[in-house]
Amino acid sequence: MNNVSTPLTMKVPRFKGGGFIEFEEISVPKPGPGQLLIQVKANALCGSERGQFINGAVVIPGHEAAGVVVAAGKHTRVPIGTPGVIYLMDFCGTCRACSQGFTNQCRNKRGDMGFNKDGGYAPYELINENIFFPIDKNIPFPEATMLLDIIGTGGHAIDRGRILHPDIQSVFVMGAGPIGLGVLAMAKIIIGKEIPVFVSDFEDYRLEIVEKLGGIPLNLKKKSLHEFFMENDVKAVDLSIDTSGKKAARQSGLKVLDQQGALICVGHGEELHIDVSIDLIHPERAILGSEYFPYRDLERNLDILNRHFEYFSAIITHRFEAEKIKEAFDLFLKGQTGKVVIVQ
């Protein structure tokens, strides 16, 4: 227990509902056996926190955190001072899914950081050691958070599509929010730079980032999807990925799929209507869900972040101090941002 000196108390943001956030002074937790105390240096905002901002939260939110180990309980191995990121799902490591490496499908999860366990908007976060992933000392913490929902979730959605389709030549992403940008970036890196990746949205700001990242922006306020595809001489795509959670988006993603194409649903939300014979059987298409990503992907993804650092850094458009968390959320939820990160 060779601990760095940490303060006894810390100021944490409490999400009260209605967009109100109040700061409260509480004790800094102490790590028990198998646990680490992380000093949080950066935590990225996520669209999935909208509910907590609007309706309030019992725990401290924040599930895209990067920081440094400052205290360690008994039976831990990670040295004090190690920088790293925190995986959202506190997986058991021994169930049927975990033993196959599918920690994002753990059957015996101990919790989700920032949703039912205190998360990364606090100055210090207490975690079980298995969800900490060490990173290189030279990676700045805001960019390190890109390993989670952006590179991790985005990459897993692409991996899901590749299970079904070994020859992807075109991709259509519905929604240019942070997850959509992550999917676009990982499509370019995993499948190939030359593959056209179309990204639809209604926000000019986000579509400008799409263009910067090498995607083809489709502003559905200006033209229909059909018109855009005609213009680009595209008849159908091999992979559609919905990050919007909207029924209309999913339907159009399914409709533009080529034979043997796959629709991957990443964004939670509305339903999808399927005409089984026409949509699935006859063209042998597939529809898959994709939830977060397996912990083991972090190793490959760290290498990707190191090789494409500037590319991922461009997805972060705003950085806020911890005291300005309310302003950060107000701006982020208006849709005029890329990824927004709280730094401490």
Residues that bind Zn ion (CB under 5 A): 46, 48, 91-92, 95, 98, 106, 108, 149
CB 124 within 8 A of CB 38: yes
Q: Which is nearer to Zn ion, 115 or 228 (CB)?
A: 115
131 Rama class: left (phi>0) / alpha (psi -120 to 50) / beta: alpha
Shortest distance in whole angstroms from residue 106 CB to Zn ion: 3
Q: Closest separation between CB of residue 324 and Zn ion, Å? A: 20
Cβ-based nearer residue to Zn ion, 69 or 179? 179
> Which residue, 53 or 91, is less far from Zn ion as judged by CB?
91
Strand pairing class (237-242; 171-174): parallel
28 or 325, CB closer to Zn ion?
Answer: 325
Smallest gap from Cβ 209 to Zn ion, in A, equals: 17
- The H-or-E segment that residue 301 falls in is helix 297-307
What's the rounded Cα separation, in Å, for the pair 259 and 251?
A: 16
Give CA 43 to chain center in angstroms: 12
> Are the CB atoms for 67 and 125 separated by under 8 Å?
yes
Nearest CB to Zn ion, comparing residues 21 and 46: 46
From CA 86, how far away is CA 120, in angstroms rounded?
Answer: 9
Shortest Å distance, C-beta 200 to Zn ion? 21
Retrieve residue 320's tokens.
């806020």
Find tokens 């990824």 and name the residue.
339
Closest separation between CB of residue 23 and Zn ion, Å? Answer: 23
Q: What is the distance between the alpha carbons of residues 87 and 96, in angstroms, rounded to a whole number? A: 19
Residue closer to Zn ion by CB (options 41, 63) is 63
Which CB, 87 or 198, lies closer to Zn ion? 87
Percent of residues in the chain assigned helix, strand, coil, to nearest 5: 35, 25, 40
Nearest to Zn ion by Cβ — which residue? 46
What's the closest the beta carbon of residue 160 comes to Zn ion, in angstroms?
17
Residue showing tokens 């890329």: 338
Helix (H) or strand (E) holding 6: none
CA separation for the pair 9, 80 (Å, rounded): 20
Single-letter amino acid code for the residue at 327: E
**Spatial separation of the C-alpha atoms in residues 91 and 128, rounded to whole Å:** 9
Shortest distance in whole angstroms from residue 30 CB to Zn ion: 26
Nearest-approach distance from CB 95 to Zn ion, in angstroms: 3
How far apart (Å, rounded) are the C-alpha atoms in residues 262 and 149? 22
Nearer to Zn ion, 106 or 218 (CB): 106
